Amino acid sequence: MNINRGLPLVAPRVTPVLDPAFRPAVLACHFFRDTVRASGHALPVTLALEQADGSVFHFRTELASAGHALAAANFSHVERLAKFLLWQRGGWRFWLAADSGQPSAVSSLAAQLQAHFRDTATGKFDSNLIGERVYDRPIEVVACDAASLPPERANVQSLGRNLEGCRIGFDLGGSDRKVAAVQDGKVVFSEETVWDPYFHPEPQYHFDGIMDSIRKAAAHLPRVDAIGASAAGVYVNNRVKVASLFRGVAPDLFNARVKDIFLEVQRAWHGVPLEVANDGEVTALAGSMSLGVNGVLGIAMGTSQAVGYVTPGGNITSWLSELAFAPVDYNPAAACDEWSGDYGVGAQYFSQQAVGRLLPVSGIEADAKLPLPEKLKLVQSLMKSGDYRARKIYETLGTYLGYALAHYADFYEFNHLLILGRVTSGDGGDAIIARAKEVLQVEFPTLAARLQFHVPDEQDKRHGQAVAAASLPKLR
């Protein structure tokens, strides 16, 4: 497949050994942009995304003018771009404005995009999960002229790097929860506890587990000044909007108990300052603090893909960075995500799911019913013994990563990449990074020259996340 709804798809110069049909998002975007610019009749447009707090983010692109051969690709280009921005930044209202001329083209495109979010299965998924569940309203698309476009603005809250006093930090994972007691920046206690939160239907189980970990940490401190938390999901003002940890809780119980579960924890601890942040953001913050650098993008390849970002100024943001749902492969026949139903998104390329998907085509025989963590262990053991079939899987993942990083660089400003997660453990992780670097050197040499890869050691992973979480709240 070399075309997607009129949009030409460019074959990569470094082909994933197990996925020759891979068509990187970055190459399609750059080809479209460069071609319409070269025509001399590009239509500059701004796609703005508005959040509930009034923050507005602008993204500039170009469309093909009416009559251009690529005009039929305008919608495909904008829809995939909107999809990425929605899961990267978060928001509920898109504004689409042309700098000048062809207002009808922008109006028509906005109407198509609105119909996509209203009528298609993948669009409705995005509108429900991001629009309604996170921002309490369905996604809206507005066409306007440049003069009516809301100005770019962001309500930035600085979180993290606060280490004074007696603090507790905890990280809630799908298989264990970690907690640390931190006194003036020094870890005085840490513990991991196995639990099984994903499909537990009773929120009291989650509450009791959190409280148990905090109590154990508090026993090693003279007092508790602040509590910070790291967990997968979307949190707004410490309220749970969407979180896989509570996927087993019925909707009525979720609304009644889970949404404010961290506020309940705060009340139980006498109202001390408490902050909750997405685990990807806290991972990036932990890496930034440990390395002493800013402009960090963190990518964790585990059960799914988790991403976090620390700005060049050293802050974490209100952005969602849920790139597990963001497209990196524009081939419409690419693997589909089982939850959203969309094709070519990160969860199928940077996770245990990706390993499981590539296992059959690698030539490795395994029981199809084997759980994904066990499939990963099999591949890791084969890689350790030098099996070339396992190496093909990791090299394919590395090729995906190299092209995805170039795509991410169009949306994030970063010079440091933090790589972690079970998929990247051992020799396989080295193969992933080596192939990603090869892709960057071949296709994107400027990015390759400035990007530094970092892999945290076990000590950093164990303590760093909890310390970074503990540093989130400011003392009153």
With H, G, I as helix, E, B as strand and everything else as coil, classify residue 301.
Answer: strand
Tokens found for residue 330: 């524009």
With H, G, I as helix, E, B as strand and everything else as coil, classify residue 416.
Answer: strand
Specify the fold of 285-464: Nucleotidyltransferase; domain 5 (3.30.420)
The 10 Å Cβ neighbour count of residue 20 is: 9
Nearest-angstrom CA–CA distance, 317 and 18: 36
Distances (CA, A) of 389 to 21, 48, 166, 349: 19, 45, 50, 17
pLDDT at 429: 95
pLDDT at 280: 87
Instruction: Output DSSP code: residue 249.
Output: S
Contacts of 28 (CB under 8 A, 6+ apart): 4, 7, 8, 9, 10, 330
Contact between 368 and 402 under an 8 Å Cβ cutoff? The reply is no
For domain 166-282, the question of CATH label 3.30.420.40 is answered with: yes
pLDDT at 465: 80
pLDDT at 315: 86
Nearest-angstrom CA–CA distance, 51 and 35: 32
The pLDDT profile of the chain, 476 residues, written as one tens digit per residue, is 589 999 999 999 999 999 999 999 999 999 999 999 999 889 999 999 999 888 999 999 999 988 899 999 999 999 999 999 999 999 999 999 987 766 677 899 999 999 999 999 999 999 999 999 999 999 999 999 888 899 999 876 677 889 999 999 999 987 789 999 999 989 999 998 999 898 899 999 999 999 999 999 999 999 999 999 998 888 988 999 988 889 899 999 999 999 999 999 999 999 999 999 988 888 899 899 989 999 999 999 988 898 999 999 998 887 899 999 999 999 999 999 988 999 999 999 999 999 999 999 999 999 989 999 999 999 999 999 999 999 999 999 999 999 999 999 999 999 999 998 889 999 999 999 999 999 999 999 999 999 999 998 766 666 678 789 999 999 98
Tokens found for residue 181: 């007691």
Tokens found for residue 176: 């264990």
Distances (CA, A) of 355 to 348, 349, 371, 462: 9, 8, 11, 25
Q: Is the pTM of this model over 0.85?
A: yes
pLDDT at 102: 62
pLDDT at 1: 53
Distances (CA, A) of 13 to 1, 20, 187, 331, 440: 16, 11, 47, 16, 11
Contacts of 26 (CB under 8 A, 6+ apart): 403, 404, 406, 407, 410
Count, in order, helices (H) and strands (E) of the chain.
Answer: 16, 17
Rounded (5°) CA angle 53-58-60:
170
Closest CA to 86 of 119, 127, 114: 127
Instruction: Output DSSP code: residue 350.
Output: S
Domain boundaries, the chain: 39-148, 166-282, 285-464
Nearest-angstrom CA–CA distance, 300 and 288: 15
Nearest-angstrom CA–CA distance, 345 and 16: 16
Closest CA to 414 of 282, 279, 316, 320: 316
DSSP H or E stretch at residue 217: helix 203-218
The reply to whether 166-282 and 285-464 are identical in fold is: yes
